[in-house]
Structure 1
Amino acid sequence: MPIKVQLAVDMTCPSCVGDINSVLGKVHGVDKIDISLDDKQVMVEGTASPSSILKAIKDTGRSAVVRGTGSSSGGNIGAAVCIFEEGSAMGTSATRGLARFVQIDKTTCFVDITVSGISDGAHGIAIHECGDLSQVPESCGGVWNPRKVKFNPLVVKDGWGDLAFETDGFQVWEIIGRSMVINAGSEGGVLAGVVARSAGLFENDKQVCACSGNTLWTEQRLVDQGQRL
């Protein structure tokens, strides 16, 4: 099914627009590209996956964030975000990354995870039943995976890692209020956060984070460079 993918992209000049047009034109399934330099926004329409679009833009060396998806005929399907915190006592821990969830269609969810400042290696990821972060992972309840889908591990190198994928293992509306836990074998819950509803397509055009005062792309670069958020 054709979809629209809205991205915020750090662009500074017409050359940026040309580079992004060029690289997206080579992505299979991209039918239409609409770029606004003034709004720092890229809208892509077609059957290409959000993960392939995001990767293509990041490969140009520019920071990009998927803001939402929607059907080509209009309407938002669903979106959520999970901010990861480190440690079992989440009230005194550091923010270490986030996951974005956008519903592509009725069965497929796009997931984009970025973390920094944790141990290198392959980390397991899982949705848990509860959103209680008071004593991770025990307070999060059991793993919630009714469709028994196996997810690839999140690989961290030099303190930084990201993972983007699409899954039919859950839909956005099923995981709101639950927690996502990132672990590393015997370490148990290394990072955790509560999944909360976020803006969908065209619902949030802000470019500055109210918490830190940084732009979206500064926040992204902090993660890309392996620094704390």
Structure 2
Amino acid sequence: MQTTFAVPLSCEDCINDVSGSLHKLNGINKVTANLKEQLVSIEGTAAPSAIVEAIQATGRDAILRGSGKSNSAAVCILESHTPHVENKVRGLVRMVQVASNMTIIDLSIRGLSPGSYHATVRETGDISEGPESTGPIWEAVKAKKEGTPARGAFGTVEVGKGGVGTVFLDKPVQVWEMIGRSIVVSRQQDGKFDRNDADTIVGVIARSAGVWDNDKTVCSCSGKTVWEERREQVDRGML
């Protein structure tokens, strides 16, 4: 898998610092940096969330600009629908299709209570009522008839005492099948959800840019740079 990240770089020493930190990770095959464009390209099998942490360990931030080939990546921002929660954003799911019928899922959570949580793709992308309006687990009815696991049952993620949890999975699905559906992360896998439970989070799966598909440095809507937007999203709780 290839990924590109926007990283503030000012000199060759910056590049060497970032590259050295990345090569400490398992699964890093190649690191290429473009000083002029402030971009770092990584090839390998390491999770994007682990790559971001490695870059941030050098004192620099990183924004994922693209993953995989065109039309092969998706993203889902997981939020709490509980009114009393201040920072709504509690999780982020990145999905990249790496083969004709194989997609890797990188799920990161921050701010939930410690414990085990189920991650499921739902039949619809209707989150107007939070998790309650998302419908059943994707293809659960079909799976029950065939006696096989539901394609939407992605697995579990363990959240530690600090409220942080990550999991890196691979599933025999294609990205286009999931676009427009939703993901629910909750202590219970299915049944009647409680939208007032701060530890139940939900989001809609949207298409994400492939490698080199996104060279935007200024948002056409707000006129803000990607780093200004990044700071605002971090203040909201974005991972």
TM-score by length of 1: 0.73
Assess if the C-alpha contact under 8 Å between 1:81 and 1:197 holds in 2. yes
Q: Kindly tell me: are residues 133 and 34 of structure 1, through their superposed partners in 2, closer, same or farther at Cα, counting changes over 3 Å?
A: same
Using the TM superposition, give the Cα deviation of residue 162 of structure 1 relative to its aligned residue in structure 2, in angstroms.
5.0
Question: Using the alignment, how far apart are the partners of 2:76 and 2:156 within structure 1?
Answer: 18
Question: Using the alignment, how far apart are the partners of 2:152 and 2:207 within structure 1?
Answer: 24
Using the TM superposition, give the Cα deviation of residue 179 of structure 1 relative to its aligned residue in structure 2, in angstroms.
0.4
Alignment of 1:99-110 (within 5 A): 99-110=93-104
- Which residue does 1:161 correspond to in 2? 164
- Which residue does 1:111 correspond to in 2? 105
Question: Using the alignment, how far apart are the partners of 2:99 and 2:167 within structure 1?
Answer: 17
Q: Kindly tell me: are residues 164 and 66 of structure 1, through their superposed partners in 2, closer, same or farther at Cα, counting changes over 3 Å?
A: farther
Assess if the C-alpha contact under 8 Å between 1:5 and 1:50 holds in 2. no
Assess if the C-alpha contact under 8 Å between 1:30 and 1:48 holds in 2. yes
Deviations 1:202-229 (A, max 9, x none): 1112245556946358637964xx8535
Greater shift, 34-43 or 179-188, is seen at 179-188
- Paired residues in the alignment total 216
Which sections of structure 2, spanning at least 5 residues, go unmatched? 140-149
Deviations 1:101-145 (A, max 9, x none): 2222323323334455x4422333211111111223221011126
Q: Percent identity?
A: 32
Radius of gyration: which is bigger? 2
Assess if the C-alpha contact under 8 Å between 2:182 and 2:205 holds in 1. yes
Q: 2:114 aligns with which of 121, 132, 136?
A: 121
Tell me the secondary structure at the aligned position of residue 20 of structure 2.
helix
TM-score by length of 2: 0.70
Residue 81 of structure 1 aligns to which amino acid in structure 2? V
Question: Using the alignment, how far apart are the partners of 1:17 and 1:68 within structure 2?
Answer: 19
Assess if the C-alpha contact under 8 Å between 1:9 and 1:41 holds in 2. yes
Q: Kindly tell me: are residues 196 and 55 of structure 1, through their superposed partners in 2, closer, same or farther at Cα, counting changes over 3 Å?
A: same
1:215 is aligned to 2:226: yes
Q: Kindly tell me: are residues 58 and 170 of structure 1, through their superposed partners in 2, closer, same or farther at Cα, counting changes over 3 Å?
A: farther
Greater shift, 171-180 or 75-84, is seen at 75-84
Residue 215 of structure 1 aligns to which amino acid in structure 2? V
Assess if the C-alpha contact under 8 Å between 1:6 and 1:44 holds in 2. yes
Question: Using the alignment, how far apart are the partners of 2:11 and 2:42 within structure 1?
Answer: 19
Q: Kindly tell me: are residues 30 and 94 of structure 1, through their superposed partners in 2, closer, same or farther at Cα, counting changes over 3 Å?
A: closer
Q: Kindly tell me: are residues 211 and 139 of structure 1, through their superposed partners in 2, closer, same or farther at Cα, counting changes over 3 Å?
A: farther
Question: Using the alignment, how far apart are the partners of 1:8 and 1:151 within structure 2?
Answer: 30
- Which residue does 2:143 correspond to in 1? none
Q: 2:18 aligns with which of 9, 17, 20?
A: 20
Q: Kindly tell me: are residues 37 and 201 of structure 1, through their superposed partners in 2, closer, same or farther at Cα, counting changes over 3 Å?
A: same
Question: Using the alignment, how far apart are the partners of 2:231 and 2:93 within structure 1?
Answer: 12
Assess if the C-alpha contact under 8 Å between 2:121 and 2:153 holds in 1. no
Residue 138 of structure 2 aligns to which amino acid in structure 1? W
- Which residue does 1:134 correspond to in 2? 128
Using the TM superposition, give the Cα deviation of residue 147 of structure 1 relative to its aligned residue in structure 2, in angstroms.
3.7
Tell me the secondary structure at the aligned position of residue 21 of structure 1.
helix
Q: Kindly tell me: are residues 114 and 27 of structure 1, through their superposed partners in 2, closer, same or farther at Cα, counting changes over 3 Å?
A: closer
Greater shift, 138-147 or 171-180, is seen at 138-147
